[in-house]
Structure 1
Amino acid sequence: MREATLPPPRRHGRLVSRLVLLAAACFAFGFALVPLYDTLCRVVGFNGKTLKDAIAAGDVAPGGLDASRKLGVQFTTTLMPGLPWEIRPLEPSIELHPGELRTTRFLVRNLSDKPIVGQAVPSVSPTVAAKYFKKLDCFCFTQQTLAPGESREMALTFIVEREIGPEISELTLAYAFFPAPPPPSGSTQ
């Protein structure tokens, strides 16, 4: 009788090494997404990154006022489902000169009987104008907590840089307000 011989055990060392390298590469890519996203937002002006980073870097210096032309700026708001707030700009539209520093306010009211946390996400259109719209101070930089029935005026201080192209005479700053998880205990708004 012959004994059945089994094939020698395969060595999977090469395969395991490749899988470990692939897992490490995926982790590194996921880790690098945050700075890549921040860089993309800074370049195209999404989510208010442009000005926040410029303030931290100290490169927000108005190049002066361009009194030779005016721009129209409109403000709009949208509430996402699950956020029982009332929000409206106190000035739905304004005119300004490029390079002019302006402050406007939004009125927000919590319509519910419990504290609600919300977050505003800005967008500027036309998109090419976003890199010239610089928010110096904005309620959109942090989450906002409103007590039941509380009303609050929230300020936005901004500048539209004078380098904005002459083809742009109107732009819109739109805020989408989302419900947000409450901030960690011990933090204040």
Structure 2
Amino acid sequence: MSEKKQISENSKQQLEANNGKLVAKLCFAVLAMFGFGFAMVPLYDVFCEVTGINGRVVVKANSTDVDPIDESRIVTVEFITRIANGNDMSFQALTQKVQLHPGQMSEVAFKVKNPSQYKVFAQAIPSVSPGQASLYLNKTECFCFTQQELQGKEEVTYPMKFFLDQDLPESITLLTVSYTLYKVGSEQLASAATEDNQDVESI
């Protein structure tokens, strides 16, 4: 009888050890997913800076550093929004197109909605076409500068202020500014990990 009891206790200890390892692996997986999400955007920035892909935008920190307005030219700027794969958020440009003179400050707006009940973190990644035009597109305020936090069911309208340098080549009369919205973190992942942990402990 004592031998069977010893075997039972050993089996219980082995099961507890296995459960502990499984919980640790689940927690590590969740942390890894969060880490990858937050690291993705800086890595993207470095990649674009090195390769010149996607026409990264030059940012002027001081909104007063605006060139004199060149009223002899009119340039059209179009705005396109995209949602990254696996992202259930909605994202749209409230202004589809603007016409302005080089040196003229302009402001447009974008609407983002989080349809889930969980808090999420999102990052908009810009690109400019033609790529050469990115050297002359200057943003003084943009939601794309940092990650944005949205509560569950929250809808937010973000402004974007910009101007074009007077040195913009005359051959460029149309710019397309595209934003792709990525979800880089969510409370849902943490909640799912907690539930898995509870399920394992109840075994």
TM-score by length of 2: 0.63
Aligned partner (choices 119, 128, 135) of residue 123 of structure 2: 119
Question: CA 1:115/1:39 → structure 2, altered by over 3 Å: closer, same or farther?
Answer: closer
- Maintained 8 Å contact 2:55/2:130: no
2:141 alignment partner, one of 115, 122, 137: 137
Deviation of 1:149 after TM superposition, in Å, equals 1.1
Cα pair 2:48 2:54 within 8 Å, conserved: no
* Runs of 4+ more than 3 Å apart: 37-41, 43-48
Q: Is the 8 A contact 1:44 1:130 kept in 2?
A: no
Read off the aligned partner of 1:64 and give its amino acid letter. Answer: P
Letter of the structure 2 residue corresponding to residue 97 of structure 1: H
Equivalent position amino acid for 2:111 in 1: L
Tell me if the contact between 1:44 and 1:131 (Cα under 8 Å) persists in the aligned partners. no
Seq. identity, %: 28
Pairwise CA RMSD of aligned residues? 2.8
- After TM superposition, list the pairs within 5 Å mapping 1:1-189 onto structure 2: 37=46, 40=49, 46-48=55-57, 50-51=58-59, 54-55=60-61, 61-181=65-185
| Structure 1 spans left out of the alignment, 5+ residues | 1-33, 184-189
Instruction: Give the SS at the match of 1:180.
Output: strand
Question: Alpha-carbon deviation of 1:173?
Answer: 0.6
How far is 1:47 from its partner? Answer: 4.0
What is the Cα deviation at residue 114 of structure 1?
1.1
Aligned residues: 144
Residue 85 of structure 1 deviates from its aligned partner by 1.1
Gaps of 5+ in 2: 1-42, 188-203
Matched-pair contact (CA < 8 Å) for 2:81–2:179:
yes
Are residues 44 and 178 of structure 1, via their aligned partners in 2, closer, same or farther at CA, if it must alter by over 3 Å?
Answer: closer
Which string of whole-angstrom CA distances, capped at 9 and with x for unpartnered residues, describes residues 5-39 of structure 1? xxxxxxxxxxxxxxxxxxxxxxxxxxxxx9xx499
1:46 CA displacement? 4.2
| Matched residue SS, 1:99 | coil
Deviations 1:105-156 (A, max 9, x none): 0011111121111100001110010000011111001101111111110010
Distance in 2 (alpha carbons) for counterparts of 1:138 and 1:46: 16
Which structure has the highest helix share of the two? 2
